[in-house]
Every structure is written in C-alpha cells, then in structure tokens.
Chain A
C-alpha cells in the first residue's frame, strides 16, 4: 500500500518542519522529491540526508514570477511533477484593527496565490499524463478562525475552496485535489511556547498531546497515493480531535 515508486513530488516549504517531514515520508515510499523553500542550507541538509532522488529547488514564493519558474525547474530536474504539495506558508499575526495591508497581502500572496499558481502550472502536465495529486496544507484555523489570524485563516480557508473547485475541474483526469488541515503541530514555530501555554493547549486536545510533523506527513502520503484515488475535494483534519468538522 501507498507505494510511490516512480512518482515525482514537488514539496514547497520543505525547509520547514512539516514540509521536511512530508518530503521525507514521500521519499521513504519511493518518490523522487523536489525540495523547495527559501532556506537553502536547510534544503541542502535534507537532500544530503535523503541521498538519492532529492533535488534542491530554492524559491521565494512571495515573488509573483517564482511559482511558474519553480514548476519549470522541478519538471526539468524530476522529469515532471505527479504530486504537488502546497505547504509553503507564513504568518503575520495581528488583531485586525492593527493589521497592516501589507501583512494581509503577504500572507494571501504566499499561502494562497502562490498555491494557485503552482497548481495551475502543474495541472498541465498532470492532465496530459492523466494522473496527478495536489495536496495543500491548510489549517484548523481555516475552519474555526483564530483571533489575530484574519489573514492566515482567510488564506487557509481559501485553499479549501480553491481545492474543491479544482477537484471538480480535473476529477475526470484521475487528478485529485485535497487539503490537510493540521491542528497544533510541534514545529520551530511552536516548540518555544511557554510550558503553561503548552499545557493549556494540550487540555483542549482529546488526544492529550500536540501533533508532530510525522502525523501530517502520514496524511500526505495517503492522499498522494494511488489508494486515495477516490478521495477528492476533501479536507483531512489532523488535529488529535481538537476540532471535529
């Protein structure tokens, strides 16, 4: 089950905790992986760890031209893209009344608009090949909201709506388009939380622990696999039960 040998995956935000874990997991199932991100050192370290079938493809997705260029680079390096993981994302948190236009725009540009451009660019090859998987990493806050994250929540809810529309457009070509909505996952962003706050978080999670990147990666492997062919337009919530939607 979940054999990805011969598949070529492009993972954005692969220099981060969740993106790196997804790249490792896809690679472990046999996929060749294109590792994209802004921090080249981290990407190169990951490629070195994976040894073979791993290609470093740096890109700054806040640049509007970067998405198309990245897909071209990935197709050149990998020979094509069968699996696209839209994982790159950033936060610029602030209460709405204090949120600057540029903080709104930057989050929407990278988290949502770049994901659209990458999907559009990859769909062409997937349609020709009559096979494809697009998985976008959304968030529980896209469904529940979160104070201080109007921009982030909007971008993540946007990914869900976008994926449903794309899913309907290309379902007849054996291309599935889905989202994963992680809850609280231990990454560089959350590992320095004060112990008290961490404890409070754990109290609202029925599973009794924060998630780890591997929890999200396992969901990505499933959605990328042949076995998930009949699952499309869906959002898989990976949150230890903290929100049941």
Chain B
C-alpha cells in the first residue's frame, strides 16, 4: 500500500520539480503543486508506465490530487 504512495510521490517530485515536503496526500496537482494541464497528462502517462496500467481519459480527469492517484492505482492493482 505505502509502496504505491511512495512511488507516486517520487514521480510527482521528479516530474514537477517540487519539494518532497509539499507532496502530501491532499496536495492538488494544479492548485498546490503548480502543474499545468500538460503536466497532469504527463503525470498520468508516467503513472501508466510506472505501474503498467492503463488509465482511461474519464478516470484521468478525476485524478487531481496525490490521494486520487494513489486510490486509482491501488484499485487497479487489486483487480
């Protein structure tokens, strides 16, 4: 469980170039971490690659925070 969270946070820190301390579960990619719309698409693509999953567009739209990402990825790996 926490493994997924750590990997998600690592990707976000690397991709957005933000301090790890800011990447908390409730952090919103755009509002709190300064991402633009292309960043959010790139993050989704990076999650797909890291976890070997496919994130459909309608699900991707709902992934707006760290918590959303972790939740979606965990729900996929349980299947």
Contact = CB atoms under 8 A, between A and B. Distances in A.
Interface string B17-59: 0000000000000000000101000100100000000000000
Contacts, number: 9
A127 B36 contact: no
Contacts of B38: 127, 169-170, 172-173
A34 B45 CA distance: 26
A124 interface: yes
Nearest to A124: B45
Interface in A160-203: 169-170, 172-173
A233 B79 CA distance: 44
Contacts of B42: 127-128
Nearest to B45: A124
Interface in A120-176: 124, 127-128, 169-170, 172-173
B41 to A, nearest CB: 9
Contacts of B45: 124
Contacts of A172: 36, 38
Contacts of A128: 42
A172 B37 CA distance: 11
A169 B45 CA distance: 16
Contacts of A173: 38
A115 to B, nearest CB: 21
Nearest to B15: A128
A169 B40 CA distance: 13
A170 B41 CA distance: 12
Interface of A: 124, 127-128, 169-170, 172-173
Given A127-B38, A170-B38, A172-B36, 6 more contacts: A124-B45, A127-B42, A128-B42, A169-B38, A172-B38, A173-B38
Interface of B: 36, 38, 42, 45
Please provide the 5 A-B residue pairs with the shortest distance between their CB atoms, ordered closest to farther.
A127-B42, A172-B38, A172-B36, A124-B45, A169-B38
9 contacts: A124-B45, A127-B38, A127-B42, A128-B42, A169-B38, A170-B38, A172-B36, A172-B38, A173-B38
